[in-house]
Amino acid sequence: MKSLKVLISGAGCAGPALAFWLARVGHRVTVVERNTSLRTSGAQIDIRNQGVEIIKRMDLLEKIREKLVYEKGAQFINSAGEVTVTLGTGNQAATSEYEIMRGDLVNILYNETKDHDNVKYIFGETVERYDEKDDKVVVQFSDGSHDSFDLLVGADGQGSHIRSTILPPGSNEYRKLGVYIAYWFIPHIETDTNYFTFYSCPGRRSILRRWHEHSDTQVYCVFKDTCNPDKFDELMKAPVETQKKFWVEKFHDAGWETSRFLAGLDNTTNFYCQEIVQVTTDTWSRGRVVLLGDAAHCPSPMTGLGTTSSLIGAYVLAGELTQNSDDLPLALKRYDETLRPLVNEAQEISSFNLRLMFPQSQWAINARLAALRFLCWLGIPSFLERFANDTSPWKMPHYPALDKDEKS
Ligand SMILES: Cc1cc2nc3c(=O)[nH]c(=O)nc-3n(C[C@H](O)[C@H](O)[C@H](O)COP(=O)(O)OP(=O)(O)OC[C@H]3O[C@@H](n4cnc5c(N)ncnc54)[C@H](O)[C@@H]3O)c2cc1C
């Protein structure tokens, strides 16, 4: 195997996961992160399906287990605050058995790689520009310094700068769902249970409540509106105080415990708001530049598969690069061919499901709750969950070269 010199842009989940595999087999990796330190913010994310197998292959299962957020299941409540439906945890359920705070996962992946002889992290820098030569890519960093690499990997998230450099001009890389979300943490009170709690109110609005530690409760406000994209584009760029004011106005009459949730906005330090989009592009690589994780195929938080698909993507990319280290075009082609069916599956959100998630009227909300109650009475959710592990036709490849035992 030829040892490659690889530059990864972005130290979120995907970047450090790729560094982990590449370093394990002797490639040399630099990770450049725009933020001046590791970005450990974010709320609860989940690892599902084949993602669990990946963390086992990384020997990280125990470390991740120590940080898991325990959720008993999911509950739907009505406007009186009464629980009307309770569902269990599971691979296809709203809450999985591997729920973890984003910061904890990012920290675990970073700590696993930061002291490795083959890995170097640079914070507070970006890739300013790059020049591709036949045998290398020459990168200029934002501090003006240069270095050359065999490969540049864009693991720089949903709004990837690297992606914008490889896509044909005018490409439409986003699938907009017309869904907007804000989340923040508020002080936990005794009645905040450790169920993932869903509440819907008229006007295609939902509030979700989760609880990850004794002091903090997570609040998520979500709404769907496909009629005012320009207005919301502006909002996403507005100062945080303007954004907070918007969410208060949008949800002030929502009922349930909304007044407490909105009051918590004043003192929270974790407020974040974004438009929920999917990254859908046919182009994951060009020459010696390749995309990974959300930069390539963000499926959106609505699928619960963003982290899982980036962890799997990191494994597949590392495997193909290692197996084909003397033929990068072949490695990148095989990465695309192998991973894309999984990504296509992960990105499936039908417009019917979207409508179901965001009912317009109280009548539709009540009808959805009644239908869910009936399905539960028939035992259908738990029946489906029993077979959930077998629902994905995508079979995870195995790259023996990445196995620890093979290496030692
Ligand atoms: C601050 C933050 C909070 C999040 N919160 C949630 C959440 O609550 N729930 C959820 O489901 N998903 C959340 N996500 C997304 C989730 O982490 C990803 O969907 C998933 O884990 C895939 O990870 P990724 O590494 O591809 O992307 P990300 O985790 O987004 O990581 C991308 C990294 O690239 C860095 N970066 C961006 N631009 C540049 C640049 N030009 N040069 C160098 N580095 C750059 C970013 O700072 C970040 O560290 C969050 C992401 C971020 C960045």
Indicate whether 256 pLDDT > 70: yes
| 239 Cβ contact partners less than 8 Å away, ≥ 6 residues apart | none
pLDDT band at 118 (very low <50, low <70, confident <90, very high): very high
Indicate which atom in ligand 1 lies nearest the CA of residue 156.
Answer: 34
Provide, rounded to the nearest whole percent, the portion of the chain with pLDDT above 90: 72
Task: For residue 21, give the DSSP letter.
Answer: H
Gap from CA of 104 to ligand 1 centroid (Å): 13
Q: What value does the CA radius of gyration of the chain take, rounded to a whole number of Å? A: 22
> Of 373 and 271, which is predicted with more confidence?
271
Q: Give the pLDDT of residue 377.
A: 80
Gap from CA of 172 to ligand 1 centroid (Å): 21
Q: Which of 101, 183, 284, 307 to mutate to test the pocket of ligand 1 (most atoms within 8 A of CB)?
A: 307
Gap from CA of 293 to ligand 1 centroid (Å): 9
Q: Which of 156, 166, 236 to mutate to test the pocket of ligand 1 (most atoms within 8 A of CB)?
A: 156
Q: Which of 48, 102, 128 to mutate to test the pocket of ligand 1 (most atoms within 8 A of CB)?
A: 102
**Alpha-carbon gap, residue 98 to 304, rounded angstroms:** 11
> Of 194 and 111, which is predicted with more confidence?
111
Indicate whether 311 pLDDT > 90: yes
* Structural contact between residues 39 and 106, judged by C-beta atoms closer than 8 angstroms: yes
- Calculate the alpha carbon distances from 36 to 10, 124, 308 in Å: 12, 4, 26
- Name the closest-CA residue to atom 3, ligand 1: 42
| 401 Cβ contact partners less than 8 Å away, ≥ 6 residues apart | 1, 25, 319, 322, 323, 407
Gap from CA of 113 to ligand 1 centroid (Å): 18
Gap from CA of 106 to ligand 1 centroid (Å): 9
**Alpha-carbon gap, residue 222 to 354, rounded angstroms:** 12
> Considering the entire predicted model, what is its pTM?
0.93
Gap from CA of 159 to ligand 1 centroid (Å): 9
Q: Give the pLDDT of residue 407.
A: 47
Indicate which atom in ligand 1 lies nearest the CA of residue 304.
Answer: 11
* Structural contact between residues 208 and 196, judged by C-beta atoms closer than 8 angstroms: yes
- Ligand 1 site residues, Cβ closer than 6 angstroms: 9-15, 32-35, 39, 41-43, 45, 102, 126, 155-157, 161, 293-295, 301, 306-307, 310
**Alpha-carbon gap, residue 72 to 89, rounded angstroms:** 7
- Name the closest-CA residue to atom 30, ligand 1: 157
Indicate which atom in ligand 1 lies nearest the CA of residue 310.
Answer: 22
Gap from CA of 65 to ligand 1 centroid (Å): 22
Gap from CA of 297 to ligand 1 centroid (Å): 12
- Name the closest-CA residue to atom 49, ligand 1: 12
Rounded mean pLDDT, 77-105: 82
Q: What is the pLDDT of residues 202-250, one digit of tens each?
A: 999 999 999 887 789 999 999 999 998 889 989 999 999 999 999 999 9
Gap from CA of 10 to ligand 1 centroid (Å): 8
List the one residue out of 206, 220, 195, 181 whose CA is nearest residue 300: 181
Sheet with 289-291, edge to edge strand ranges: 119-123, 28-33, 5-9, 151-154, 289-291, 285-286
Average model confidence (pLDDT) across the chain: 91
Rounded mean pLDDT, 111-128: 98
Rounded mean pLDDT, 77-99: 79
**Alpha-carbon gap, residue 313 to 292, rounded angstroms:** 7
> Tokens for 31?
């990770």
Gap from CA of 292 to ligand 1 centroid (Å): 12
pLDDT band at 408 (very low <50, low <70, confident <90, very high): very low
